[in-house]
Amino acid sequence: MENSAHRRINLIHRHLHSPPCDFINALNLAQTNGGNQLQTGVAEPVIVGSMVLDIHAIPSFSAVPRSTTPGKINYILGGVARNVAECMSKLGANPFLISVVGHDMAGIRKHKDISTAVVCAVVDFHGELAAAVASVEAIFLYKKKLVVVPQGTETGLMQEKFLTPEWIEQFKCNIRDAPVLMVDANLNSLALEVSCQMAAEYNTPVWFEPVSVAKSRRIASVVKYISFTSPNEDELIAMANALSGQDLFSPIKQDNSITIESFFEQLKSAVWVLLEKGIKVVVLTVGARGVFVCSKGQPSFMKISSKEEINKYKSCSQLFRTLATSCPPNMFPVSPVTEKSSFLFAMHFPALPASVVRLTGCGDCLVGGMLASICAGLNIYQSTAIGIATAKATVETENNVPHEFHSAKIADDARLVYTAGRIVFHDPMP
């Protein structure tokens, strides 16, 4: 107890005599091992975005419109960035979360003048999201102004108040040292730009999580900084239209009878718009159909860290060792075509059968599983398999993130996904 008290006093002393970045790094180094030993600090993936209190309303049977329905109300921790960070942590990673509302000096901001962001989601009898109301003034502040703007334009109407660029800039040192930065589209354009510019300054790869169809369009201002993005098919269409400057693409009609190859044919032109803008890897999630991993040629941008760098980014090396042996990185044929070519390369990985309880949090945990694996040294395809296995575990629970992940089960499921992966498109684009 005495040693612990001395460490805290020394930490405060260092804070009073150190610049902000040094203090934040000191906090990261002050994690104890068994309460006695200080551990050597390692580079942490940085996650910037939303923390939300989710209120889930679950009817006991199909809801009756304009009437009350018996059911359950659950209060669950949520927010895309928070969900991703929690998922990564439970997989053994050590993410650094920058958000608002909380009490952690290393990235979470508490403010006396705001309420915690809340989303009330109504879930249908089958676990699907039926409707939701979001109160997220902690992240964005809407102000009425006597101006006339085109329909759908947010400029001049939305003003970020609390998750400010100035707040994010305090953690430049963390972004500098991070193996990857993830930003969610709950940030407004200015906060997105500041985060991405800092990452670009230090050659830190950026993952853009679109969040929703409306918010996914915010990629337009930062696309030149983005290495990864993870849209579903509707978000992909919105992003492609935003980046092309016109409504070239329309949402596709669902037809479960067509093949995976035919399904991708409907999406490939929109994917190509994102790749042509400089994004290296598009992780396209398509629900029960699985995931497409798309790139120009076969990506040389397969992983962030080499085996020699695993100790530097030692977030979940046990996961790396397990998957690296059972899912060899050279399993799929290597194309001589490079990222700079006019060839679109797409791998497909199937979803796994699951006993679905709730679908909220599924996409966030897929991204969290992928990021944790990438930071452990796995390549993008191995990481996709882990992400899908993690998503399966998530839909089988009532929470946005399961209370725990069973590593053996995740590894077994990931092997099934990985071995079922196949090339679905490898042709030049006009």
Residue 15 carries which side chain, given as an amino acid letter?
H
The pLDDT of residue 17: 41
The pLDDT of residue 110: 54
Residue 43 banded pLDDT, cuts 50, 70, 90: low
User: How many other β-carbons are positioned within 10 Å of the β-carbon of residue 357?
Assistant: 14
- Nearest C-alpha neighbor of 130 from the set 219, 69, 216, 59: 59
Residues facing 95 on adjacent strands: none
Asked whether the CA dihedral 258, 391, 215, 175 is positive or negative, the reply is: negative
- Tell me the backbone φ, ψ of residue 141, rounded to 5 degrees: -120, 120
Percent of the chain exceeding pLDDT 90 equals 48
**How high is the mean pLDDT of the chain?**
77
DSSP type of residue 65 = T
Q: CA–CA distance from 87 to each of 78, 170, 269, 335 (Å)?
A: 11, 25, 32, 33
CA distance 241 to 37: 53
Q: Which residue has the higher pLDDT, 238 or 51?
A: 238
Encoding tokens for residue 186?
């709950």
- pLDDT tens for residues 228-246? 999 999 999 999 999 999 9
Encoding tokens for residue 138?
């902690």
State yes or no: pLDDT of 279 exceeds 50. yes
Find the range with the poorest average confidence among 171-180, 283-292, 299-308. Answer: 299-308
Sort strands 37-38 and 96-100 into parallel, antiparallel or unpaired.
unpaired
- Spacing of C-alpha 248 from chain mean position: 27
What superfamily does domain 41-428 belong to in CATH? Ribokinase (3.40.1190.20)
Decide if 232 contacts 363 (C-beta within 8 A): yes
Helix segments in 17-99, DSSP class H:
20-29, 80-90
Encoding tokens for residue 229?
């993005």
Decide if 368 contacts 138 (C-beta within 8 A): no
Residue 297 gets the label, from left (phi > 0), alpha (psi -120 to 50) or beta, of: left
State yes or no: pLDDT of 136 exceeds 60. no
Sort strands 118-123 and 32-33 into parallel, antiparallel or unpaired.
unpaired
CA distance 116 to 127: 25
Q: CA–CA distance from 44 to each of 8, 54, 102 (Å)?
A: 22, 27, 20
Q: Which residue has the higher pLDDT, 119 or 165?
A: 165
Residues with Cβ within 8 Å of residue 398, at least 6 apart in sequence: 56, 74, 76, 357, 358
CA distance 401 to 201: 33
The pLDDT of residue 35: 37
- pLDDT tens for residues 80-124? 999 999 999 999 899 999 987 644 333 455 555 555 555 566 666
Encoding tokens for residue 104?
């952690």
Question: Which segments within 89-173 are labelled E, that is strand?
Answer: 96-100, 108-109, 118-123, 129-135, 141-142, 158-159
Report, as an integer, the average pLDDT of 279-291: 96
CA distance 411 to 324: 10
Residue 228, helix vs strand vs coil: strand
Find the range with the poorest average confidence among 45-59, 267-281, 357-371. Answer: 45-59
Report, as an integer, the average pLDDT of 125-153: 45
- pLDDT tens for residues 314-330? 444 566 677 878 888 88
Report, as an integer, the average pLDDT of 252-277: 94
Report, as an integer, the average pLDDT of 339-364: 89
Report, as an integer, the average pLDDT of 159-165: 64
* HSE, side-chain direction, 13 A CA sphere, residue 108: 15
Alpha-carbon dihedral 404, 405, 407, 411, rounded to 10 degrees: 180
The pLDDT of residue 60: 72
Q: Vertex 335, ends 332 and 341: CA angle to 5°?
A: 135
Asked whether the CA dihedral 65, 70, 73, 78 is positive or negative, the reply is: negative
Tell me how many helices (H) and strands (E) the chain has.
14, 18
